[in-house]
């Protein structure tokens, strides 16, 4: 039984790894916006595989995001700029937020599953993953590069760090949050329906409490 479960988890981990690599490369153009969906596999991993699974897929995304600074899997204009300032800081700025995002999203699903219906928790986790991505990514950017004058002149201008981070929660980020909520929530909902996700059995809990 354990072998079956482990094989299923490994298969899902492999699928989500491939998916996050593909989605890192392909952004969806919507008018003037360029929408990333790479956080969706991270949210699904957090739902289906827990905090560690979310962190692992987040780490894969972080590595893919760093490779974009060198023109691999697409090009990140900001990444190309920051990697010239410091490749080490750029790696930390692109890797750590994605690991933390996946890990925290896993805990959000665990905790919310105990507080509300697990299927509702899937949609909350999808939203939270995209929101955390924006907050962690932009915060790391300001912490690691906010003292570099070249970066400040090019990107921040006269904005305070808080104003710069809040400014990132633009239409682009809002659309990503909506997509992550809908898609990750729907996939998580389907996994719950198929009983492929272990969630607390509230009925058994209440029966135990009543028996005591």
CA dist 113 and 130 (Å) reads 19
β partners of residue 30: 33
What residue segments make up the domains of the chain, in order of their start?
7-202
Does pLDDT of 5 surpass 90? no
| Strands 33-35, 28-30: pairing kind | antiparallel
DSSP H helix total and E strand total for the chain:
9, 2
Dump pLDDT digits (tens) for 119-158. Answer: 899 999 999 999 999 999 999 999 999 899 999 898 888 8
Dump pLDDT digits (tens) for 97-118. Answer: 999 999 999 999 999 998 888 8
Does residue 143 contact residue 127 with C-beta atoms inside 8 Å?
Answer: no
Give the percent of the chain with pLDDT over 70: 87
Q: Strand locations in 45-92, DSSP E?
A: none
- Residue 19: CB partners within 8 Å, gap ≥ 6? 40, 41
Dump pLDDT digits (tens) for 65-93. Answer: 999 999 998 888 889 999 999 999 999 99
pTM here is 0.86
β partners of residue 28: 35
3-state secondary structure (DSSP) of residue 30: strand
Q: 7-202: which CATH number, 1.10.1760.20, 3.90.850.10, 1.10.510.10, 3.10.20.30?
A: 1.10.1760.20
């Amino acid at each position: 039984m354990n072998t079956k479960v482990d094989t299923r988890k490994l298969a899902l981990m492999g699928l989500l790894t491939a998916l996050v690599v593909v989605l890192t490369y392909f952004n969806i153009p919507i008018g003037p916006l360029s929408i990333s969906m790479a956080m969706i596999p991270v949210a699904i991993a957090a739902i289906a595989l827990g905090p560690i699974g979310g962190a692992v897929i987040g780490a894969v995304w972080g590595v893919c995001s760093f490779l974009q600074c060198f023109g691999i899997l697409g090009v990140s204009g900001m990444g190309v700029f920051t990697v010239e300032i410091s490749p080490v800081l750029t790696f930390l700025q692109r890797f750590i937020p994605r690991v933390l995002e996946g890990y925290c999203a896993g805990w959000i699903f665990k905790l919310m599953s105990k507080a509300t219906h697990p299927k509702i928790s899937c949609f909350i986790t999808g939203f939270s993953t995209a929101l955390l991505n924006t907050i962690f990514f932009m915060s790391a950017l300001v912490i690691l590069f906010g003292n570099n004058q070249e970066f400040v002149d090019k990107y921040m201008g006269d904005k305070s760090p808080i104003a710069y981070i809040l400014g990132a929660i633009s239409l682009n980020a809002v659309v990503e949050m909506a997509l992550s909520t809908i898609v990750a929530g729907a996939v998580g909902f389907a996994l719950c329906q198929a009983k492929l996700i272990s969630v607390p059995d509230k009925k058994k809990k209440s029966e135990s409490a009543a028996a005591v």
